Amino acid sequence: MKDCSFHTMKTLKIKKIKAREILDSRGNPTIEVELETDFGKFLASVPSGASKGKYEAVELRDGGKRYFGKGVKKAVKNVNEIISKKLKGFNVTKQKEIDQVLIELDGTENKSNLGANAICAVSLAVCKTGAKAKNLPLYKYIRSLYDIRNTKYVIPRPSFNIINGGVHAGNELDFQEFMICPKEKSFSENLRFGVEIYHKLKEIISKKYGKLATNLGDEGGFAPPIKDPETAIKLILEAAKTLNYQEKISIFLDVAASQFFDGKKYKTKFGKFSGKELANFYFKLVKKYPIEGIEDPFAQDDFESWGHFNSKLKRQKSKVLIVGDDLIVTNPKRIKMAKEKNLCNAIIVKINQIGTVTEAIEAVKLAKSFGWQIMVSHRSGETTDDFISDFAVGICADFIKAGAPARGERVAKYNRLLRIEEELQGSKI
């Protein structure tokens, strides 16, 4: 079959892959990969999370004194001296084949040999290059890899993290993210609502707690001096109500409960809870506030609490999403386990948690086969790479979260979605 791209098969070959150490949004090192072909050079970079699930693919760091041990020279070397040599001459449109080579070249279950950060950067760069080779926008190319046909392109609903806590902020909030998720049909309107509520929230926090309280956490949300999750929710709803948007948004919480679980109890600044007691606290919140989803409500191995909470919500015929992140880590094996144990009904997808584009797509396919909803996510330590925006559209994600509608590394993702929406205006497929 004749290739429909404007390149010959010869020019589709990888000539060289070069990695370098750059900085993420926290000022820590991360990897950028430059993939060279006859028709251009293509860049991709990987983010890093502060709140990591223990089952994530391993991010290779150098240790030692340089950058306080956070350097990535070893991972860079693995790209330049091992991966680049192995992949030279490969056809860039063979994403699945190349990702499989990367997995086998590493040879470990958790990518600890070459480093998931090295592997992921290369996989992303290959995907971007493949899209150019096929003369397709990245989201359409990803759709072809995902193999969905006769399905409209839909921009996922954005979930904006506008109050930060947990390991993302220096305040006493144990819950990590308090997000608003506008419910309008167009992405541009949802973005506008998010921005306006964000700025109104800044005014309200400044008046209540002083200007210092509007300092930002890692993901661009405010970090006021509060410790009760209900206070954060009330502040957000006050900002929305002031703008008469209270009926136009829902709330997502990212609890990241593994961060304050000691193996027996959940120890927070506002109380100590057993799993069932914490579940009862969530039930109270769900009844009082327009909460659409709760991410990582329990620790990643506390299956009993996950199962109890999910089963009780089902009995109540609740539509609240129980979202697995640390529980799932974008890993098909963990997704199957969660389904068998009835633990959740939605997942966070972070490509660097699993390491390759192909594996992330497999995770999405499996979760969707269970009827679960999908939220594509950034990480707290980000770069200005906007790959996840195209990825979210390509895989038909229900939601995307990229932080607050502020700071360059977050806004890059939202601005890319604006451009995709503009491109799709009037498109039927």
Least reliable range by pLDDT among 72-76, 217-221, 236-240: 217-221
> In which band, very low, low, confident or very high, does the pLDDT at 51 lie, cut at 50, 70 and 90?
low
* pLDDT value of position 171: 81
To 10 degrees, the CA torsion angle through 109, 73, 383, 134? -70
Report the top-level CATH class of 157-424.
alpha beta
Which H/E stretch holds residue 268?
Answer: strand 266-268
pLDDT in tens, 119-128: 999 999 999 9
Q: Is 262 exposed, middle or buried (0-12, 13-18, 19+ CB in 10 A)?
A: exposed
Selecting among 219, 292, 409, 421, the annotated active-site residue is: 219
Architecture of domain 10-135 in this structure: 2-Layer Sandwich (3.30)
Domain boundaries, the chain: 10-135, 157-424
**Residue 119: exposure state from Cβ atoms within 10 A (0-12, 13-18, ≥19):** buried
Query: Measured in Å, how far apart are the chain's first and last C-alpha atoms?
Result: 24
Q: What pLDDT digit, counting tens, does each position of 179-228 carry?
A: 999 999 999 999 999 999 999 999 999 999 998 888 888 888 898 999 99
pTM over 0.85: yes
CA distance 232 to 285: 12
Told to judge if 350 belongs to the known catalytic residues of this protein, a careful annotator would answer yes
Residue 37 · residue 128 · CB < 8 Å? no
Per-residue pLDDT reduced to its tens digit, 292-351? 999 999 999 999 999 999 999 988 888 999 999 999 999 999 999 999 999 999 999 999
Q: How confident is the model at residue 152 (pLDDT cuts 50, 70, 90)?
A: confident
3 — pLDDT class (breaks 50, 70, 90): very low
Catalytic residue selected from 111, 132, 350, 413:
350
Distance, in Å, from the CA atom of 342 to the CA atom of 39, rounded to the nearest integer, reads 48
Helix or strand holding residue 128 (H, E): helix 116-133
